[in-house]
C-alpha cells in the first residue's frame, strides 16, 4: 500500500467542497500527510468575485487543519479549474487528490461540465470524489 504524504483538496464555495475538505482533513490527520487546500476561481469570472466569502472560508479551513495538527498550505489561483488542479497536484507531488461532487445531471452537467471528470482523465494519482450528501 502506498503511503499518503501529500493531499491536494480542491474546493469551491459549495457544500460538496466542505464535505471533501472534511474527508481530506481526516485522511491527513490519520496519515500525518501535508494538506494543500486549493481554490481556483474560474478564468471566466473576475478574481474579485466573492472574495470576502472566499477569504472567510479559506481562513476557517486553514484554522481547522492547524487545530487538528495537520500541516496545511492554502493556495488560490485564477484559471480553468481542472488544469489548475492537475498542475498543483503534479507540482506538489500529490499522493491523493480530493474533490467534492454536486452530482449534477443532464443539461446542467452538459452545460457546466464536470471538473472531477476532467481531473480523472488526466490524473496520475488516486482521486477521491466525495458527494455533497456523503
In DSSP terms, 99 is beta-bridged to: 10, 129
**Full-model pTM:** 0.88
Determine the distance from the C-alpha atom of residue 134 to the mean position of all C-alpha atoms in its chain, rounded to a whole number: 16
Nearest to 12 by CA among 54, 66, 72: 54
User: Can you say how many angstroms the Cα of residue 102 is from the centroid of all Cα atoms in its chain?
Assistant: 13
pLDDT, one tens digit per residue, over 60-113 is 999 999 999 999 999 999 999 999 999 999 999 999 999 988 655 544 444 345
In this predicted structure, the answer to whether residue 21 has a pLDDT above a threshold of 60 is yes
- The structural domains of the chain, ordered by start, are 6-131 (3.40.50.620)
Q: Determine contact, residues 99/123, Cβ cutoff 8 Å.
A: no
Q: What is the DSSP letter of 35?
A: E
State the pLDDT at residue 10.
Answer: 95
Distance CA 115, CA 39 (A): 13
Q: Say if residue 53's pLDDT is above 70.
A: yes
Cell numbers for 89, please give them.
497536484
Q: Mean pLDDT over all residues of the chain?
A: 88
List beta partners, residue 128.
98
Q: Which residue has the cell 484559471?
A: 79
Amino acid at each position: 500500500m502506498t503511503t499518503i504524504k501529500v493531499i491536494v483538496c480542491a474546493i469551491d464555495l459549495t457544500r460538496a467542497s466542505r464535505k471533501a475538505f472534511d474527508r481530506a482533513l481526516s485522511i491527513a490527520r490519520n496519515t500525518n500527510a501535508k494538506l494543500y487546500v486549493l481554490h481556483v476561481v474560474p478564468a471566466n469570472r473576475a478574481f474579485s468575485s466573492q472574495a470576502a466569502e472566499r477569504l472567510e472560508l479559506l481562513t476557517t479551513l486553514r484554522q481547522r487543519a492547524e487545530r487538528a495538527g495537520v500541516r496545511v498550505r492554502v493556495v488560490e489561483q485564477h484559471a480553468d479549474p481542472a488544469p489548475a488542479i492537475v498542475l498543483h497536484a503534479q507540482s506538489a507531488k500529490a499522493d491523493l487528490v480530493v474533490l467534492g461532487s454536486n452530482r449534477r445531471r443532464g443539461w446542467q452537467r452538459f452545460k457546466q461540465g464536470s471538473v472531477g471528470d476532467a481531473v480523472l482523465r488526466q490524473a496520475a494519482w488516486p482521486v477521491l470524489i466525495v458527494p455533497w450528501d456523503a
